[in-house]
């Protein structure tokens, strides 16, 4: 690539995310925030009419609007101006076949979480990624928040000392009652054939990923009790999970989509021998840090106490809200950096973090372990 090419937005394709979809629009906004990607092609629906309407509404050329993702992968790979990467924003059961098609066509993949619907297809996809030589990026967007980069850096710098306790929770209330038949988002998320798992897959994997990302620890064993409180629901809607980390730390995760009064209550607490940190996604710019025996301190984004690594992924002046969309944007921007580095044989700058196939596999092993444990009366199981 020339220096001029490095300044151009990368060409992005998208599979899924057409009319009536939620997460596709989020990904499209995030990909544009830092002007690192331009959407030029899409298989936005498997329904040809809906795919065409969705693509035209987004300004795509008709010859780059597809209803078959395999056709899209083949044709885009053959074009001189073909896409550099594809964004997969389908229900979980389609992640593996779509990713496989584009990886085998030589196209980098950016995929919504969790990795797949089932562990076995994740294992097969892991091998496809390794064989392809292409990048696979999983969009765990909360790792892109400035204060989560700050928290991770503090743990790695030893500010908390040896980690003893990690607690994460993710509480929502939108599935407190049976889903309306017209609720497309609820329909596939509560279908085990499409989602694979309920709350533990949809939001539990976020809590698990963030707990491991910030603490810099890996889970050895867990004990999980999964519940389906809403009648006739075939996936879990509430989970209590105890964790044993390698090295001796202990932890817990509560993931619920039936907790009235909670909209997007992702919270994280990490405690070490020298101090603790606390964070809430609904107040994302604030990180509370308490050195043992001292007063609690507030660290703010682009303000008091934030490090250069944290501020590197911050875009707006202090005191202005920055969170969900910008977190996704950080993932897309670092994906663009990684793609360019990969194509040019260069190293990524310090502080960049890519949730790769490894994090995706960790999430799937977490889901699998939770399901195995719960079926055996919440017994301790290994990941």
Buried b (16+ CB within 10 A) or exposed e, 216-238: ebebebbbbebbbebeebebbbb
Last residue of a domain, one of 134, 160, 184: 134
CATH, residue 263: 3.30.360.10
Largest Cα–Cα separation, the chain: 65
Q: For residue 147, how many other CB atoms are within 10 A of its CB?
A: 29
CATH, residue 76: 3.40.50.720
> 301: closest CA among 271, 331, 330, 336?
330
Residues 260 and 374 in one domain: yes
Q: What Cα–Cα distance (Å) separates residue 326 from each residue in 158, 313, 319?
A: 28, 9, 15
> 270: closest CA among 155, 169, 362, 171?
155
334 found inside a domain: no
Residues 178 and 307 in one domain: yes
Residues 127 and 161 in one domain: no
CA 66 to CA 52: how far, in whole Å? 7
Residues 10 and 55 in one domain: yes
CA 354 to CA 227: how far, in whole Å? 32
342 found inside a domain: no
Last residue of a domain, one of 83, 102, 134: 134
Residues 54 and 80 in one domain: yes
Please tell me whether the peptide bond between 121 and the residue prior to it is cis, using omega within 30 degrees of 0.
no
Number of domains in the chain: 2
Residues 152 and 281 in one domain: yes
Residues 118 and 21 in one domain: yes
Coil, helix or strand at residue 273: coil
pLDDT 10s digits, 251-282: 999 999 999 999 999 999 999 999 999 999 99
232 found inside a domain: yes
What pLDDT is stored for residue 348 in this prediction?
86
Residues 44 and 99 in one domain: yes
What pLDDT is stored for residue 303 in this prediction?
74
Residues 81 and 153 in one domain: no
343 found inside a domain: no
Residues 85 and 106 in one domain: yes
Last residue of a domain, one of 78, 105, 134: 134
For residue 228, the enclosing domain spans 145-314+356-382
336 found inside a domain: no
Residues 63 and 127 in one domain: yes
What pLDDT is stored for residue 5 in this prediction?
55
What pLDDT is stored for residue 2 in this prediction?
47
Residues 123 and 232 in one domain: no
What pLDDT is stored for residue 6 in this prediction?
58
pTM of the model: 0.96
DSSP 370: H
321 found inside a domain: no
Which ranges of the chain have pLDDT less than 70?
A: 1-6, 181
Q: For residue 267, how many other CB atoms are within 10 A of its CB?
A: 18
pLDDT 10s digits, 354-381: 999 999 999 999 999 999 999 999 999 9
335 found inside a domain: no
332 found inside a domain: no
CA 322 to CA 54: how far, in whole Å? 29
């Amino acid at each position: 690539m020339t220096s001029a090419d490095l300044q151009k937005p990368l060409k992005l394709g998208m599979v899924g995310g057409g009319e009536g979809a939620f997460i596709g629009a989020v990904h499209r906004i995030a990909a544009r925030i830092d002007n690192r990607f331009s959407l030029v092609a899409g298989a936005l629906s498997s329904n040809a009419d809906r795919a065409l309407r969705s693509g035209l509404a987004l300004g795509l050329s008709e010859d780059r609007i597809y209803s078959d993702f395999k056709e899209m992968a083949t044709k885009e790979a053959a074009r001189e101006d073909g896409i550099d990467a594809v964004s997969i924003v389908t229900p979980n059961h389609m992640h593996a076949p779509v990713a496989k098609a584009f990886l085998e066509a030589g196209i980098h993949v950016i995929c919504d979480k969790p990795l797949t619907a089932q562990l076995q297809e994740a294992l097969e996809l892991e091998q496809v990624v390794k064989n392809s030589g292409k990048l696979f990026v999983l969009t765990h967007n909360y790792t892109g928040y400035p204060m989560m980069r700050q928290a991770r850096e503090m743990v790695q710098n030893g500010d908390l000392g040896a980690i003893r306790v990690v607690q994460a929770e993710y509480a929502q209330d939108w599935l407190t009652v049976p889903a309306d038949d017209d609720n497309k988002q609820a329909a596939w998320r509560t279908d085990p054939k499409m989602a694979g798992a309920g709350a533990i897959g949809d939001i539990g994997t976020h809590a698990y990923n963030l707990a491991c990302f910030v603490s810099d620890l890996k889970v050895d064993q867990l004990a999980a009790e999964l519940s389906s409180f809403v009648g006739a629901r075939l996936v879990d809607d509430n989970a209590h999970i105890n964790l044993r980390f390698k090295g001796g730390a202990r932890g817990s995760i509560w993931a619920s989509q039936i907790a009235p009064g909670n909209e997007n209550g992702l919270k994280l607490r990490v405690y070490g021998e020298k101090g603790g940190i606390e964070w809430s996604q609904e107040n994302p710019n604030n990180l509370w840090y308490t050195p043992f025996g001292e007063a609690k301190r507030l660290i703010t984004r682009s303000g008091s106490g934030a490090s250069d690594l944290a501020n590197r992924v911050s875009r707006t002046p202090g005191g202005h809200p920055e969170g969900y969309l910008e977190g996704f944007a950080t993932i897309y921007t670092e994906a663009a950096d990684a793609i360019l580095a990969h194509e040019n044989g260069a190293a990524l700058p310090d502080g960049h973090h890519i949730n790769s196939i490894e994090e995706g596999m960790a999430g799937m092993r977490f889901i699998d372990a939770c399901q195995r444990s719960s079926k055996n009366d919440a017994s301790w199981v290994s990941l």
